Structure 1
Amino acid sequence: MTRMAEVDTAGLTTALRAAVDGEVRFDAGSRGTYATDGSNYRQVPLGVVVPRTVAAGARAVEVCARFGAPVLSRGGGTSLAGQATNAAVVIDWTKYCHALVSVDPDARTCVVEPGIVLDELNRQLSGHRLQFGPKPSTHSHCALGGMIGNNSCGASAQAYGKTVDNVRRLEILTADGARMWVGPASKEERARIVAQGGRRAEIHEGLERIVGEYLADIRTGYPKIPRRVSGYNLDSLLPENGFDVAKALVGSEGTLVTVLHAELELVPVPPCQSLLVLGYDDICAAADDVPRLLEHCAPTLLEALDDRMAQLMREEGAYLTSLDALPDGDCWLMLQFSGDSQDAVDEQALALLRAVGRDEKDATVAFSDDPEREHRMLKAREAGLGVTARPPDGRETWEGWEDSAVPPERLGDYLRDLKKLFDDFGYDHPSLYGHFGQGCVHTRIPFELTSADGVADFRRFLERAADLVTAYGGSLSGEHGDGQARGELLTRMYGERLVTAFAELKALFDPDHRMNPGKVVHPRPVDGQLRLGPAWRPATVTTHFGYPDDEHSFTRAVMRCVGIGNCRSHAGGVMCPSYRATKEEEHSTRGRARLLFEMLGGHADSAVTDGWRSTEVRDALDLCLACKGCKSDCPTGVDMATYKAEFLAHHYARRVRPAAHYSLGWLPVWARLSRVAPGLVNSVLQAPGAARVGKRLAGVDSARRAPVFAPESFLRWWRARAADAPDPSDPRTVVLWPDTFTTYFHPAIAISAVRVLEDAGFRVAVPGDTVCCGLTWISTGQLALAKKVLRRTLRVLRPYLEAGTPVIGLEPSCTAVFRADAPELLPTDHDVRRLAGQFRTFAEQLVHHAPDDWRPSAPAGRATVQTHCHQHAVMKDDADRELMRRAGLDAVFLDEGCCGLAGNFGFERGHHEVSMAVAEQGVLPAVRAAAADSLLLADGFSCRLQIEQGDTGRRGLHLAEALALGLDGHPPGDHPEHHAQRPPEPSLAGRWATTAGAAVLTGAVTAAAGRGALRRLHRRT
């Protein structure tokens, strides 16, 4: 095997940079980011090349060959068998090489570059009503090059087959530089190719020789099942199968050639669908019924979900609406039918029910032709990997035997024997689910991979499982490929002769063993190069956050990332805005988690060696917006915002911080100081020359306009109101939380909230002393100060906490602190836990606790709603939707991701471009497209500010403002957002001649005061 020391990496780096139009990275951060995929394995690459064109990628392969460097061609990096991790030069095609080159609608074909993501391909094909048939669960982020490499399938393979069944031709590049298109070749065509000579002729002659020598073995040695993915597709070279070289290369996992382009076969998008779900008492009984069902129908998909997965969903509180849509039973089979008319599709399902003696009205039957309901039910099945990866009981589960396949008619018996095998090893109750219509079984098993005994059991289990599936006439892999997880086991499935044929095929295409070495052929051991393993010794670190869901361990928290890659999706949800803007693996949630894992050490070859002081980790986290989208959208609940705050706290401990940490991180202090002369402060902040100097001193990006302080704060308005403080024990009393953003920038929101709450019969109290949630200190990693701020706040709120008085938050990010961050920062403080239970959103209070006879009102009509990322992640928006419904608003909630401002992120120097790129990918275009007469609602300060500064011509309202305007009876079309009492932009007229000098002084004093105050606080602690 080639080791890094054997390759002239310095010379290779120089040559690649000179020859390749792309990004060439041999730094520790890039190598650590690509050190693993979605599997149990880890190998630090030599370096990473991100080509800007397919030709540049081909040139990179040629340069690597000249230096004897191995090559790993990589797509989405979600491989579960270890085929996308190697000590090689990784070529990542996904950032630039993602074009749909051409489409032939009549022939139903298209040509693509290897980096195009499946969902994006199908989106571009949607105008032709065509799609690529196979659809794995990673469809939002898997690349076609990776699908070809792994021979991916997915649920839709029931109707459309595997990737190999949908590939017409491939443009390939061999390790020695031969570039050619390959596909089916008749005997006459092969003779013509051989006559031309050259490397192409050599390959075709060699293929004919291999097929001729092993003809009988190929015809008899491949299991005749729908889901055989293991091994090379030598059967595609049989004369009766058209001697198809392209199909023979599908599923070869980058071990034979590099795929540069692919010509794909397409299928029509079915106009109508329906879903039938059948309940069973036992997953084996459900499997027993599969052959009977298939006798009577030809569904588009036939999926299974078992009781263990349903149990995990309930324990995690995830996908509950999906479970609620399922019929009675502990396990379920889901059958989808497709066709040209809804009547015909529905009849397929009903005919099946009649044939098997069931009825649509049975409690164990659910039938739907409502796409939304179908989506909810299928979501439960699609969530399998994420739900089973980190069970609430704390056991970690792992791949390794996660996609075996047998003949569907033998599936039930196979599952019974597999369960017995689990019992023999003490692997208690792994979930069993998957593509039962094709006999493919998914599971994750609680292997113990950190001790010698546990790893030995892991190996013994895989060997026995391989023998078991082979005895059933099945395949080691029915979807995910061999890689390192199953390459060593192929002899048990195919025998020595066919595995020898695989080696000869490898030698024909890659004689020097440079293409993804150690996978499939001459494989590394199944228990080698483990991401964990008995030699893994990560650093033990003391942390600020408590990580209660991860056994109070930062290491276990980081290990939540198992490489699923949902953070690399391009649309929908919130996660991960920085990846969507940059298309950089390092700036995905997964990439950051990988670097944090490397930072913790544990391996002798860890790419990151300076722990908390790591500049590689700091740079990767720099573009994390701390939006918390991953906390909810990541299937395993990675919370990168918390990990970033933790890292920054240690990285800058006893060091001078960036200026923005003092200016933006201490915003609550400066906001209170602004009350001395808010008009003067606004003039200084907005004056062109002065603002530019002040921003530079404060670490604020010069392109970002500062928000305008309100002439009168909410607290001053409240005190001038001179209302009697209500009794905390009065059940009608609520505390309105005076967050910094609402109080000092948009006090009309709090004033509106007071009006609405009082209209609903509540008595409003506001804390009489200074309080703060500490959000800005948390987001900048000043966690010791954040704890001090929180403890002071708890002392002020103590009378309300003891009385159980609800506290109502208006700013979602502050509410999320008390519901999520504060309990983790102060895990042993009972008052924090009390406050977390008493802190409610404005909508939650009105929906769940207002008198039954109270009805909200709002300006009638439509509303476009942008949900704050922290609300999406922590509190959700169910109550908001219900409150708007009661108020008569026809609300459309945007699903366009993060606004891109994200608190301090969009203000910090160097972040403006990414901030606006994130906004322009979804939120700002959606706002511009919203009807002019509709309300625009955005409860988050960051969201409103980004919308106002994003050339939309719109101003977002808080829901409290909309309801208050409803009290005033504003009619539809009155542009009620104009009625919000927001401070105007300060006039340039009358600004004093020394404004520039004042701004410079203000910026310098602010930065110096911040650093000085921080030093004093450190001395006191």
Structure 2
Amino acid sequence: MVEHNAGTADGGASGLHTGALRRALRARVDGEVRFDAGSRGAYSTDGSNYRQIPIGVVVPRSVEAGAGTVAVCAEFGAPVLSRGGGTSLGGQCTNTAVVIDWTKYCNRLVSLDAERRTCVVEPGIVLDELNRQLADVGLKFGPKPSTHSHCSLGGMIGNNSCGASAQAYGKTVDNVRRLEILTYDGARMWVGPTSDEEYERAVAAGGRRAELYKGARELIDRYRGDVRRGFPKIPRRVSGYNLDSLLPENGFDLARALVGSEGTLVTVLRAELDLVPVPACESMVVLGYRDICAAADEVPRLLELCRPTQLEALDGRMAQLMREEGAYLDSLERLPEGDSWLLVQFSGESVADVDQQGRELLRELGRDEGDPSVVFSDDPQREQQMLRAREAGLGVTARPPDDRETWEDSAVPPERLGDYLRDLKKLFGEFGYDHPSLYGHFGQGCVHTRIPFDLKSADGVADFRRFLLRAADLVVSYGGSLSGEHGDGQARGELLPKMFGERLVTAFGEFKALFDPDNRMNPGKVVTPRRVDEGLRLGAEWRPTAPETYFGYPEDEHSFRRAVLRCVGIGNCRSHSGGVMCPSYRATGEEEHSTRGRARLLFEMLDGHPDSAVTDGWRSTEVRDALDLCLACKGCKSDCPTGVDMATYKAEFLSHHYAGRLRPAAHYALGWLPVWARLARVAPRLVNAALHAPVLARLGKRAAGVAAEREAPAFAELSFAEWFRARGLPQPDPADPRTVVLWPDTFSNHLHPNVAKSAVRVLEDAGFRVAVPERSVCCGLTWISTGQLRTAKRVLRRTVEVLRPWLEAGTPVVSLEPSCTAVFRADAPELIPGDLDVQRLAGQVRTFAEQLVHHAPEGWQPPRLARTAIVQPHCHQHAVLKDKADRELMRRAGLETEVLDAGCCGLAGNFGFERGHYDLSMDIGELGVLPAVREASPGALVLADGFSCRTQIASGGTGRGALHLAEALALALDGPAPAHYPERLAERPRSEARDARLVTAAALAVAGAAAVAAGAAFLRRRT
């Protein structure tokens, strides 16, 4: 490893010998110590506009190991940065320091006292996980930021986080009882509110603890009047250190004084928190207004009339952005008339109680439930959907192509909010910043927005700085706070004198010097901060490469660079439940294996900064290793608020990384599966026998780069295409409106032909005439997923040539495999932009359910199943296709369904078959899908349209097989479905019944030889 000397102008690590530091950490800390370029690049920024490459990263396995990390760093004089979810918007989670990531291991609920309503937690526990563990006793932690699915309690304490529920429960500081802290010089203690007697005992004991208590008391005595006069008396003052918590009337509370200090003073090891009861019932009133300023004007009156749990606002601009992105449309449809809205939530012990609160408010306002500008609801699911739409503001307003960057966190007295917004909009206009969305926690006067700063040119950066200075003056003129929620960090640290004055800023410096005299705790933030326009993630000196690419990136101005910039660090890919994104992160807990971490490394790969962590471009092993565990599930394409499509970026990277070089054997074995499947048609029984002969199978897997634990798929003795031709029916006329082309994907054609046969039966029952291409065709999926994009383009061009008569006639193409359908809808148009046939195919391809729900002849009804079923949606179905039609078709068929929200199955095409991926593949399956199938009642159907999902379910120790929806409906055509459908599956020909057990070496003996042959051919070309 090449040693590097890290340095920073802010009291950092200039001249630090990182090699010795790294060796000491590895020798003395029970944790994962990483000084490699990949890890440093993944942690180079947070959710802000700023970027600093860390010295290294430590992931401690225990709180004690975290404390040991600080001790080793102190010996070397290395700066330290504690990090939780890394979503900070002020730059407080990026620094040239040793980053301690607490989230992977130090995430326990240590103790719970339900009677006292308190708990003790470690800093890495995620808020939603904490509240899940507290749910059984009916308690929760009150503050709930929009990042609740992935923010950690340590990060919330560091930033003094709030969220919408702070209207009822206050900020994090209001809910912290005690903290266990560690200073950089090794003093460790619990701190909290301190009586005079406790203070005297602490001072009498002597030592560093006495020094801290005495110094804090002397500091507040010197600045008592300044603190009382200079701290804004508003509910959302988050800027600055909480010196007001040291005032006698506030109990001289050192714990609360340290909340919001952003890791610049101490390391928090554990926290004792106050808890609140989970409300029994909630209701919501949504009020419409002509504009956001009018909505803000109403806030003071609302606060006089009621005591809401939440009082949130969103404007028409945010709604417009959601509609443009097709996001949260159900919630938007429920909004009342108006161009801006206030969401007023009430909590209570009964439905009658919360309904009464809502109706009383409407009566006082002179409105009622019938007013078109009012929506009233006591449906918890509907309310949560609407609140999620509001929570999505950060992501929605950050979406390209607007290039919106962050300055969005001011707070003013609620009674002055309307006038403040009018002046803020005037300031936007003065700088030419058109149409920023305005939204936020209006009940506490907190405003969020994202502004289209130009941070890529010198003039743009200069305007950015001038705007921040002017905006700070404006906030202060209204008696407000620079930060109403997300803290100061670097984004607002330089501006603090405007808000507090020089004397209080001097007090902050003295408080910092008391706890961290050598300025080694997250230096350059809050106190002696870096300039607001320094160390920008982009900046006027950013000079990234602009590589030629295979994909067209039409939604990113045909720029791979711009596509990579979609990631703004929101961190939804670090969530632990719900949706699909990001399965590898959920299983590993590794930043580098999150969508965000990979995007950070791709950003570094663009080599736009002199200190870029990744220096070898497309050949980067760091990027390759980070992408290796990407399942290409495309979950991020839909679940990431900014639409990052890491599956596409991975394919793009692999195509360049291996250009002119020998690829991994699995790329030849699995990437060329459609070819090997066609070759196997010569003698499928012989191929199957060879693939399952113990010695041959083992050798074949090894040669093909396939996981030894996976069994080979059995090729059907009669493929679907052969079966279809044997029917002897003429091909229907493409111009016949009853004609549909059934797409013979590799899986349904060669491995699970019963799926396609069943689809033919159901489609014909619905009155359609089914056509199947007589020449071999393929969507190119396996070549795309392995980054063999030149070959994929050739395959796709040949496919559209074969399909051309049907494409010209407008004939629907019905696809049964979700991943193939997603290729036609999303990948193919980007891979071959401008090709009219590809565009026609994208428009004409339909899922099986879409064809039957939206295009079946009037009067046709699907066969009745009248059964319960659990349904595993394929990841590509979730991300690209959506499943509304599937849900409707199952409803019409009489299925009572539980559609799993359990995430990816873990197999994901070739991923789970590749050597080195098996354990992770199964770990991902065990996070949701496999346990859910095991727990399903014996009589329930298990439905999964994806070949990978069916395979994982069958081979994952569930004791169950899964059906494609087409198979389930075909069973119903034969009469009432059997009580135990797995026995029905056993009636298939043996070559089909054993598919579910077999899944890898279809290509194996052939593929092993092919890999060798390909390698030999490569060497011949090179020589």
TM-score band by shorter chain is over 0.9
Alpha-carbon distance, 1:330 to partner: 0.9
How has the CA–CA distance of structure 1 residues 983 and 384 changed in structure 2, closer, same or farther, with 3 Å as cutoff? farther
Q: 2:899 aligns with which of 893, 898, 901?
A: 893
Q: 1:42 aligns with which of 51, 55, 59?
A: 51
* Alignment partner of 1:814 is 2:820: yes
Alpha-carbon distance, 1:860 to partner: 1.5
Question: Where does residue 485 of structure 2 map in the other structure?
Answer: 479
Looking at structure 2, the residues matched to 553 and 319 of structure 1 have their Cα atoms a distance apart, in angstroms, of: 27
Between the aligned residues of both structures, percent identity stands at 75
Tell me the matched-pair count.
1007
* Alignment partner of 1:1007 is 2:995: no
Alpha-carbon distance, 1:983 to partner: 5.0
Does the Cα contact within 8 Å between 2:102 and 2:123 map onto a contact in 1?
Answer: yes
Residues 930-969 of structure 1 aligned to structure 2 (within 5 Å): 930-969=936-975
* Alignment partner of 1:463 is 2:469: yes
Question: Where does residue 680 of structure 1 map in the other structure?
Answer: 686
* Alignment partner of 1:328 is 2:337: yes
Question: Where does residue 163 of structure 1 map in the other structure?
Answer: 172
Alpha-carbon distance, 1:973 to partner: 1.6
Alpha-carbon distance, 1:687 to partner: 2.4
Question: Where does residue 539 of structure 2 map in the other structure?
Answer: 533
Looking at structure 2, the residues matched to 382 and 877 of structure 1 have their Cα atoms a distance apart, in angstroms, of: 24
Q: 1:370 aligns with which of 347, 369, 379?
A: 379
Looking at structure 2, the residues matched to 1001 and 383 of structure 1 have their Cα atoms a distance apart, in angstroms, of: 50
What's the CA shift string for 1:655-674, capped at 9, x where partnerless?
00000000000000001111
How has the CA–CA distance of structure 1 residues 987 and 515 changed in structure 2, closer, same or farther, with 3 Å as cutoff? closer
Q: Tell me the secondary structure at the aligned position of residue 537 of structure 1.
A: coil
Alpha-carbon distance, 1:1008 to partner: 2.4
* Alignment partner of 1:842 is 2:848: yes
What's the CA shift string for 1:822-851, capped at 9, x where partnerless?
000000111100100000000000000001
Does the Cα contact within 8 Å between 1:280 and 1:332 map onto a contact in 2?
Answer: yes
* Alignment partner of 1:662 is 2:671: no
* Alignment partner of 1:91 is 2:71: no
Alpha-carbon distance, 1:689 to partner: 2.5
Question: Where does residue 874 of structure 2 map in the other structure?
Answer: 868
Q: 1:250 aligns with which of 256, 259, 271?
A: 259
Looking at structure 2, the residues matched to 106 and 555 of structure 1 have their Cα atoms a distance apart, in angstroms, of: 54
Looking at structure 2, the residues matched to 693 and 585 of structure 1 have their Cα atoms a distance apart, in angstroms, of: 36
Q: Tell me the secondary structure at the aligned position of residue 879 of structure 2.
A: helix
Q: 2:111 aligns with which of 84, 99, 102?
A: 102
* Alignment partner of 1:277 is 2:286: yes
AA in 1 matched with 2:101? D
AA in 2 matched with 1:395? D
1003-1012 or 335-344, which deviates more? 1003-1012
Does the Cα contact within 8 Å between 1:140 and 1:566 map onto a contact in 2?
Answer: yes
Looking at structure 1, the residues matched to 988 and 59 of structure 2 have their Cα atoms a distance apart, in angstroms, of: 47
Looking at structure 2, the residues matched to 986 and 334 of structure 1 have their Cα atoms a distance apart, in angstroms, of: 55
AA in 2 matched with 1:689? V
Q: Tell me the secondary structure at the aligned position of residue 676 of structure 1.
A: coil
Q: Tell me the secondary structure at the aligned position of residue 371 of structure 2.
A: coil
How has the CA–CA distance of structure 1 residues 750 and 376 changed in structure 2, closer, same or farther, with 3 Å as cutoff? same
Does the Cα contact within 8 Å between 2:715 and 2:991 map onto a contact in 1?
Answer: no
Question: Where does residue 638 of structure 1 map in the other structure?
Answer: 644
Looking at structure 2, the residues matched to 1000 and 933 of structure 1 have their Cα atoms a distance apart, in angstroms, of: 36
446-455 or 701-710, which deviates more? 701-710
Alpha-carbon distance, 1:970 to partner: 2.7
Structure 1 runs of 4+ aligned residues shifted over 4 Å read 2-5, 980-983, 985-988, 997-1003, 1010-1016
Question: Where does residue 227 of structure 2 map in the other structure?
Answer: 218
Q: 2:627 aligns with which of 611, 621, 627?
A: 621
Looking at structure 2, the residues matched to 312 and 986 of structure 1 have their Cα atoms a distance apart, in angstroms, of: 48
In structure 1, list runs of 5 or more residues that go unmatched: 989-996
Question: Where does residue 6 of structure 2 map in the other structure?
Answer: none
Looking at structure 2, the residues matched to 502 and 980 of structure 1 have their Cα atoms a distance apart, in angstroms, of: 74
How has the CA–CA distance of structure 1 residues 998 and 367 changed in structure 2, closer, same or farther, with 3 Å as cutoff? closer
Alpha-carbon distance, 1:114 to partner: 0.2
What's the CA shift string for 1:503-555, capped at 9, x where partnerless?
00000000000000000000000000000000000011000000000000000
Does the Cα contact within 8 Å between 1:301 and 1:336 map onto a contact in 2?
Answer: yes
Q: 1:296 aligns with which of 302, 305, 324?
A: 305
How has the CA–CA distance of structure 1 residues 863 and 986 changed in structure 2, closer, same or farther, with 3 Å as cutoff? closer
Q: 1:61 aligns with which of 57, 66, 70?
A: 70
Question: Where does residue 237 of structure 1 map in the other structure?
Answer: 246
How has the CA–CA distance of structure 1 residues 327 and 442 changed in structure 2, closer, same or farther, with 3 Å as cutoff? same
* Alignment partner of 1:776 is 2:782: yes
Does the Cα contact within 8 Å between 2:690 and 2:1005 map onto a contact in 1?
Answer: no
Q: 2:419 aligns with which of 410, 413, 419?
A: 413
Q: Tell me the secondary structure at the aligned position of residue 224 of structure 1.
A: coil
Question: Where does residue 993 of structure 1 map in the other structure?
Answer: none
Looking at structure 1, the residues matched to 1006 and 993 of structure 2 have their Cα atoms a distance apart, in angstroms, of: 19
* Alignment partner of 1:198 is 2:207: yes
Does the Cα contact within 8 Å between 2:241 and 2:508 map onto a contact in 1?
Answer: yes
Q: Tell me the secondary structure at the aligned position of residue 513 of structure 2.
A: helix
Question: Where does residue 139 of structure 2 map in the other structure?
Answer: 130
What's the CA shift string for 1:797-825, capped at 9, x where partnerless?
11011101000000000000000000000
Looking at structure 2, the residues matched to 133 and 560 of structure 1 have their Cα atoms a distance apart, in angstroms, of: 32
Alpha-carbon distance, 1:981 to partner: 6.5
How has the CA–CA distance of structure 1 residues 749 and 788 changed in structure 2, closer, same or farther, with 3 Å as cutoff? same
Q: TM-score, normalised by structure 2?
A: 0.97
Q: 1:435 aligns with which of 431, 441, 445?
A: 441
* Alignment partner of 1:350 is 2:359: yes
Looking at structure 2, the residues matched to 256 and 775 of structure 1 have their Cα atoms a distance apart, in angstroms, of: 52
Alpha-carbon distance, 1:325 to partner: 1.2
Alpha-carbon distance, 1:719 to partner: 1.0
Question: Where does residue 612 of structure 2 map in the other structure?
Answer: 606
How has the CA–CA distance of structure 1 residues 982 and 415 changed in structure 2, closer, same or farther, with 3 Å as cutoff? farther
Question: Where does residue 396 of structure 1 map in the other structure?
Answer: 403
Does the Cα contact within 8 Å between 1:663 and 1:1010 map onto a contact in 2?
Answer: no
Q: 2:930 aligns with which of 903, 924, 935?
A: 924
Q: Tell me the secondary structure at the aligned position of residue 214 of structure 1.
A: helix
Alpha-carbon distance, 1:977 to partner: 6.9
Looking at structure 2, the residues matched to 987 and 528 of structure 1 have their Cα atoms a distance apart, in angstroms, of: 64
Does the Cα contact within 8 Å between 2:308 and 2:344 map onto a contact in 1?
Answer: yes
Question: Where does residue 593 of structure 1 map in the other structure?
Answer: 599
Residues 822-833 of structure 1 aligned to structure 2 (within 5 Å): 822-833=828-839
Does the Cα contact within 8 Å between 1:39 and 1:79 map onto a contact in 2?
Answer: yes
Does the Cα contact within 8 Å between 2:79 and 2:523 map onto a contact in 1?
Answer: yes
Question: Where does residue 558 of structure 1 map in the other structure?
Answer: 564
Looking at structure 1, the residues matched to 703 and 539 of structure 2 have their Cα atoms a distance apart, in angstroms, of: 49
Alpha-carbon distance, 1:685 to partner: 1.8
Q: TM-score, normalised by structure 1?
A: 0.97
In structure 2, list runs of 5 or more residues that go unmatched: 1-9, 995-1000
Does the Cα contact within 8 Å between 1:408 and 1:438 map onto a contact in 2?
Answer: yes
AA in 2 matched with 1:732? R
* Alignment partner of 1:802 is 2:808: yes
Q: Tell me the secondary structure at the aligned position of residue 700 of structure 1.
A: coil
AA in 1 matched with 2:211? E
Q: 1:319 aligns with which of 318, 325, 328?
A: 328
How has the CA–CA distance of structure 1 residues 981 and 630 changed in structure 2, closer, same or farther, with 3 Å as cutoff? farther
AA in 2 matched with 1:720? A
Does the Cα contact within 8 Å between 1:388 and 1:431 map onto a contact in 2?
Answer: yes
* Alignment partner of 1:24 is 2:37: no
What's the CA shift string for 1:36-94, capped at 9, x where partnerless?
00000000000000000000000000100110100000000000000000000000000
What's the CA shift string for 1:330-365, capped at 9, x where partnerless?
110001111111101110000111111110111111
Looking at structure 2, the residues matched to 735 and 671 of structure 1 have their Cα atoms a distance apart, in angstroms, of: 21
Looking at structure 1, the residues matched to 651 and 117 of structure 2 have their Cα atoms a distance apart, in angstroms, of: 50
AA in 1 matched with 2:328? Y
AA in 2 matched with 1:952? T
Question: Where does residue 186 of structure 2 map in the other structure?
Answer: 177
Alpha-carbon distance, 1:1012 to partner: 6.0
Q: Tell me the secondary structure at the aligned position of residue 525 of structure 1.
A: coil
